[in-house]
C-alpha cells in the first residue's frame, strides 16, 4: 500500500524537496504551506513524476488550520503514515533589533507550528497505534548563533518538546514514533525571503548542502524512526561535538566569525520580498533551491556513513578481527 505523507513547508526549500522525494516513491503527499504559487508548482512536480499530491493552503501558526488540513488529508488520501514538520520563518537581526511581535510570530510559526503539526498527527496516529513524525531540526537546535536568536530559541524548543514526547510514547509502549533530523546549512530560498535587518544579504554558513541531501535524510529517518535523532553533514557533527565539549570557546569563536559568515559581500536588493506575515511567492515560484547552487554540494559522505552505520560497524569489526587474527599468526610464527 502506498504511504500517506503530510509535509509542512512544502511550497519551497527542504519541505519541497522532501515532498518531491516522497512523491517519487509513489507516496500520496499532502502539501501544507501558505504560498499558492509554490504549492501549485510542487503538486505539479509530484504528479508529473507519477505521485499523488494534495495542496492544502495552511498557516501552521493556527492550530485549527493545521488540524483541518490533517482531516482533509485523511479524507482524500487515507490514514496518515508519516507527518514531516518543516515549515519555519525567522528574522535575521541582532536580538535588540527584533520587535516583540516579530519574536512572537517566529515562535508561533517555527516552534508552535511544529507543536500543532505533531498534535494533529498524534490525534490520528495514537488511536491506531502506528505512524511516524519527523521533526526537521538543525545543528542550531543545540547551538545558538548570533543574528538568529528567535530561530535558535524555536529550534531548541522543538528539541526539548520532541524529547519529552518521545519519553511519553516510550512510557506508553506506543508504536507511534518520533525522530528529529538535525540539518547543516542548506541552499534554500530562506535567504531570499526571510525578514532581514542585516546590512548585507544573508547566506548559509558554508559548507552548504543541496536540499536533496536533506530530503534523503528525512526519507531515511521516516523509514527508520526508532533512532531518536539523525545528524546530517560533517559540519553538523563538528558543531554538535564541539558544543558539547567546549561551548564557551564556541561562544567566542561565533562572536568573532558569526556576523561575517552569515552575510555575503552585497546588500539586499531594495524591496525584496519577506515571508514573516504572508507568503512571499505570490508572483513567482521559488522552488526548492536558493541562490547558492554554485557553492552547494549534492552529497554528504557523513550522511551515507550515518545511514549505513550498521554496515560500517560490521566492516570495522571484520577488519579488526582480521587484524587480530593476523597479529596472532605473526606472533605464533605460523
Ligand X SMILES: NC(=O)c1ccc[n+]([C@@H]2O[C@H](COP(=O)([O-])OP(=O)(O)OC[C@H]3O[C@@H](n4cnc5c(N)ncnc54)[C@H](OP(=O)(O)O)[C@@H]3O)[C@@H](O)[C@H]2O)c1
Does the active-site annotation cover 151? yes
Q: Under the criterion CB under 6 A, does residue 189 sit at the interface with ligand X?
A: yes
Residue 131 makes contact with ligand X by CB under 6 A: no
Using the minimum distance from each CB to ligand X, give the nearer residue, 131 or 204.
204
Do 39 and 10 contact (CB within 8 A), yes or no? yes
Rounded to 5 degrees, φ, ψ at 296 are -95, 145
User: Which of 149, 38, 142 has its CA nearest to residue 96?
Assistant: 149
State yes or no: residue 61 binds ligand X (CB under 6 A).
Answer: yes
Among 98, 133, 186, 217, binds ligand X (CB under 6 A): 186
* Min separation Cβ 75 and ligand X, Å: 20
Is beta strand 28-33 parallel, antiparallel or unpaired with respect to 52-57? parallel
CA-to-CA dists, residue 197 to 203, 262, 271, angstroms: 13, 12, 12
For residue 138, state whether it binds ligand X (rule: CB under 6 A): yes
* Residue 174 or 261 having the CB closest to ligand X: 261
Tell me: does residue 33 bind ligand X (CB under 6 A).
yes
Phi-psi region of 12 (alpha: psi -120 to 50; beta: other; left: phi over 0): beta
Give buried/exposed letters for 174-193 (b at 16+ CB in 10 A, else e): bebbbbbbbbbbbbbbbbbb
Q: Does 183 bind ligand X (CB under 6 A)?
A: yes
Instruction: Locate 117 and state its grid cell.
Output: 503539526
Give the interface segment with ligand X, choosing from 95-103, 182-190, 222-230, 324-332 (CB under 6 A): 182-190
Q: Is 287 in the site for ligand X (CB under 6 A)?
A: no
Helix, strand or coil, per DSSP, at residue 275: coil
**In contact, 148 and 140? CB cutoff 8 Å:** yes
Among 4, 12, 142, 216, binds ligand X (CB under 6 A): 12
Contact track, ligand X, 100-129, x by CB under 6 A: ---------x--------------------
Residues that bind ligand X (CB under 6 A): 8-15, 33-35, 38, 58-61, 86-89, 109, 136, 138, 183, 185-186, 188-190, 204, 275, 279, 281
Amino acid at each position: 500500500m502506498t504511504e500517506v505523507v503530510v509535509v509542512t513547508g512544502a511550497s519551497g526549500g527542504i519541505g519541497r524537496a522532501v515532498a518531491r522525494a516522497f512523491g517519487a516513491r509513489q507516496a500520496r503527499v499532502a502539501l501544507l504551506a501558505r504560498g499558492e504559487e509554490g504549492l501549485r508548482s510542487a503538486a505539479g512536480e509530484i504528479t508529473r513524476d507519477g505521485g499523488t499530491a494534495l495542496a492544502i493552503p495552511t498557516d501552521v501558526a493556527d492550530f485549527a488550520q493545521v488540524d483541518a488540513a490533517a482531516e482533509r488529508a485523511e479524507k482524500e488520501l487515507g490514514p496518515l503514515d508519516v507527518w514531516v514538520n518543516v515549515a519555519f520563518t525567522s528574522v535575521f537581526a541582532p536580538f535588540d533589533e527584533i520587535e516583540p511581535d516579530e519574536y512572537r510570530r517566529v515562535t508561533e510559526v517555527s516552534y508552535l507550528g511544529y507543536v500543532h503539526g505533531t498534535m494533529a498527527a498524534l490525534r490520528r496516529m495514537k488511536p491506531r497505534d502506528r505512524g511516524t513524525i519527523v521533526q526537521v531540526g538543525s545543528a542550531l537546535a543545540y547551538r545558538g548563533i548570533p543574528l538568529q536568536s528567535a530561530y535558535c530559541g524555536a529550534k531548541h524548543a522543538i528539541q526539548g518538546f520532541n524529547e519529552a514526547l518521545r519519553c511519553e510514547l516510550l512510557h506508553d509502549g506506543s508504536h507511534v514514533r518520533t525522530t528529529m533530523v538535525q540539518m547543516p546549512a542548506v541552499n534554500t530560498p530562506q535567504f531570499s525571503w526571510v525578514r532581514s535587518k542585516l546590512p548585507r544579504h544573508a547566506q548559509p554558513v558554508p559548507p552548504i548542502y543541496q536540499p536533496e541531501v536533506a530530503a534523503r535524510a528525512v526519507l531515511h529517518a521516516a523509514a527508520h524512526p526508532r533512532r531518536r535523532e539523525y545528524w546530517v553533514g560533517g559540519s553538523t557533527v563538528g558543531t554538535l561535538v564541539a558544543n558539547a565539549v567546549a561551548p564557551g570557546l564556541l561562544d567566542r569563536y561565533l562572536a568573532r566569525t558569526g556576523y561575517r559568515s552569515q552575510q555575503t559581500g552585497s546588500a539586499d536588493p531594495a524591496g525584496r520580498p519577506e515571508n514573516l506575515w504572508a507568503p512571499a511567492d505570490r508572483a513567482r515560484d521559488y522552488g526548492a533551491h536558493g541562490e547558492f547552487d554554485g557553492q552547494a554540494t549534492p552529497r554528504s559522505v557523513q550522511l551515507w556513513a550515518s545511514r549505513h552505520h550498521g554496515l560500517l560497524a560490521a566492516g570495522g569489526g571484520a577488519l579488526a578481527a582480521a587484524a587480530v587474527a593476523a597479529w596472532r599468526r605473526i606472533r605464533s610464527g605460523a
